[in-house]
């Protein structure tokens, strides 16, 4: 057939208009939510020995370039190894890439379910090996807590309009890192549930402020 530009006649245009449309505006694509091969198709499926043999025979005699070998080696380098921690620069790049990203409640729920319980990479199968905090059953801790509460008059030492919740005895210098100060009354302060810091960063930031509050009590 000779090359060139062909004009469609009215007859051909009418035929094209009457053809069933493969995609209509607003319709959902058949592959939405999938990545690569059809989602879930290859799950729990393995190649038969015959298929493996065919792939092996097909690859016989093939020579890979040095560049290809290098790429394969680099892609498999971390397989089965523990990766080093991310650098501050890398963390900053990841943080900037996630800015402005909106995650729906449904997606958040899926992400949570995918990494909770036995699915979590830190899950310990033998539950007897779990480290338990026995402070609730420690008489010395109960005495220390009561002494801290009595010293502070059973009130949160920050004592402002934001106070709410039960009172709690907080270790100014952490229970974990300062074992020798665990039962020292001067290392404790009474806080309400709202003002009790939970995150490690918040705990460390609040140390100077809590020390000043305790110093005022002494004087």
In a domain, 70, yes or no: no
**103-145 pLDDT tens trace:** 889 998 999 888 888 888 888 888 777 776 677 678 889 999 9
Of all residues in the chain, what percent carry a pLDDT higher than 70? 81
Query: Is residue 143 in some structural domain?
Result: yes
**Which structural domain range is residue 197 located in?**
137-218
For residue 2, what pLDDT band results from cuts at 50, 70 and 90? Answer: low
**How many domains does the structure of the chain reveal?**
1
Residue 176 in any domain: the answer is yes
pLDDT tens figures, 4-30: 555 667 777 777 777 666 666 667 776
Q: Is 115 a member of any domain?
A: no
Confirm whether 132 is domain-assigned: no
86 domain-assigned: no
Q: What confidence score (pLDDT) does residue 118 get?
A: 87
Does residue 193 lie within any of the structural domains? yes
Please tell me whether the overall predicted TM-score, pTM, comes out greater than 0.85 for this model. no
How would residue 173 be classed by pLDDT, with cut points 50, 70 and 90?
very high
Domain annotation covers residue 161 = yes
Return d(Cα 210, Cα 168) in angstroms, integer: 14
């Amino acid at each position: 057939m000779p090359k060139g530009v062909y004009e469609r006649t009215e007859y051909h245009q009418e035929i094209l208009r009457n053809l069933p449309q493969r995609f209509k505006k607003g319709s959902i694509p058949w592959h939405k939510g999938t990545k690569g091969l059809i989602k879930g198709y290859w799950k729990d499926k393995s190649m038969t020995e015959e298929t493996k043999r065919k792939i092996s025979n097909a690859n016989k005699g093939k020579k890979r370039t040095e560049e290809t070998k290098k790429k394969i080696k680099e892609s498999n380098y971390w397989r089965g190894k523990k990766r080093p921690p991310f650098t501050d620069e890398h963390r900053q790049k990841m943080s900037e890439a996630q800015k402005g990203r909106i995650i729906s409640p449904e997606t958040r729920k899926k992400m949570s379910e995918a990494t909770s319980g036995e699915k979590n990479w830190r899950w310990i199968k033998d539950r007897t090996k779990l480290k338990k905090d026995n402070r609730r059953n420690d008489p010395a801790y109960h005495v220390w807590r009561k002494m801290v509460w009595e010293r502070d008059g059973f009130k949160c030492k920050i004592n402002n309009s934001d106070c709410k919740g039960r009172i709690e005895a907080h270790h100014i210098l952490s229970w974990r890192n300062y074992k020798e100060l665990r039962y020292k009354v001067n290392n404790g302060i009474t806080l309400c549930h709202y003002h009790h810091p939970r995150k490690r960063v918040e705990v460390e930031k609040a140390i100077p402020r809590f020390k000043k509050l305790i110093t005022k009590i002494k004087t």
